[in-house]
Amino acid sequence: MRGVLHKKGGLAWKKRFFVLEETQGSERIVYYLKEGDEKVRGELELNAESRISDLPNKKNGFQTITNKKALVVYAESEEVRTEWKSAIAAVISRLNGATEQKEPREGHHIFQVSGTEFEMETKDVYMVTDLMETDLHKVIYSRQPLSNDHSQYFLYQMLCALKYLHSTSVLHRDLKPSNILLNANCDLKLCDFGLSRGLNGDGGGSAENNLTEYVVTRWYRAPEIMLSCQEYSKAIDVWSLGCIFGEMLLRKPLFPGNDYIHQLKLITQFIGTPSAPDLWFVSNDKARRFMLGLPSSPPVDPLSHFPGADPGACDLLSQMLVLDPSSRITVDEALAHEYLAPIRDLSFETKAEKEIDWGEIEEVELTKENLQKIIWEDVSVYHPDAREEAKQRGD
């Protein structure tokens, strides 16, 4: 990131040329008298504790603070200010993530919403989570610019979270923009695991596990779910993520179907009409005949459909939105895609130490009391002091 900003110097504002350097181990903001100069006039190092805030009395003004040292500037437009703030926030977020514990507890990843503090009072359990100011749905439909850097960084965080979640043998099953939480530093967390379910040992779900088509908001629903397949896999979450990614690029829903038939038609108009071999996974004869009876339609050209989008983004998206779930790109393959190479950080791409033992949970009747007990037992494992305090209170 580079460009002109106006820097506060004494009582005056002076135009300077700024560069955001993102070399690992040397993350800083430097500025020069003008573009092309080699002499650095000043700099501000960035670290995990750096913070950004707006200047209430200066239009398009903001300040970045590190170790009580502040760099106070204003941009010539709101759009430029937003771009700079987002770019700086992304660097701080990466630095902040690098300081997180690298061995998260079972079922937890830094890009998934989780409890940070717990309190037990009589028969109630209180869980305090990180504050996330907004969600991706609100960002997509706001007037705030959504650059390629934003889309790239948001997608990377979502894929990291999904990698960890799937390693615990869990499908999210309800990925959509409103379930992607964000804060001012562009940190992202998945939330709302109310429809999540465990996988079978082979990595797939089945009707016996109550994995039905009544999951995932229709616009983000994988085709294999709508085609009444009895078994499906982690690929359903990849499809949903692809729909979200496309919505970020387009800034409107990719497949806004009115019903499941309309939904399937919109999908085939985008990815092309399938052939009989493409539908090998569809066991329902009626669904298979419906798909083969659709009017012939070639796939769209992503570069034309998403004007101005990065070609790498279009290539990755086209691999996420593949009808055949066995040919759809996996989470690991997506993380290794060249589009994400500039921001990839392997320390974020963690797996759980072990899968969740669903046998201990699926057999439990999920009453309020049982849920409280399960949560409290889990809290006690990672916060033994809480159990001791509860004993002392006689709870």
* C-alpha distances in Å from residue 342, one per residue of 23, 75, 167, 231, 299: 11, 26, 25, 36, 29
Residues 6+ apart with CB under 8 A from 289: none
Beta bridge partners of 189: 181
Active site residues per annotation: 174
Q: Looking at the chain, which runs of residues are DSSP E strands? A: 2-9, 12-23, 26-32, 42-45, 51-54, 61-66, 69-74, 115-121, 124-129, 134-135, 170-171, 180-182, 188-190, 197-198, 204-206, 231-233
Identify the three-state secondary structure at position 13.
strand
* C-alpha distances in Å from residue 348, one per residue of 104, 183, 191, 219, 262: 11, 18, 18, 29, 38
Identify the three-state secondary structure at position 123.
coil
The answer for 17, left when phi > 0, alpha when psi is -120 to 50, beta otherwise, is beta
Identify the three-state secondary structure at position 88.
helix
* C-alpha distances in Å from residue 199, one per residue of 90, 166, 240: 34, 9, 17
**φ, ψ at 129 (rounded to 5°):** -115, 170
Cβ 220 vs Cβ 242: under 8 Å: no
Burial of 149 (0-12, 13-18, 19+ CB in 10 A): middle
Residues 6+ apart with CB under 8 A from 91: 20, 22, 27, 46
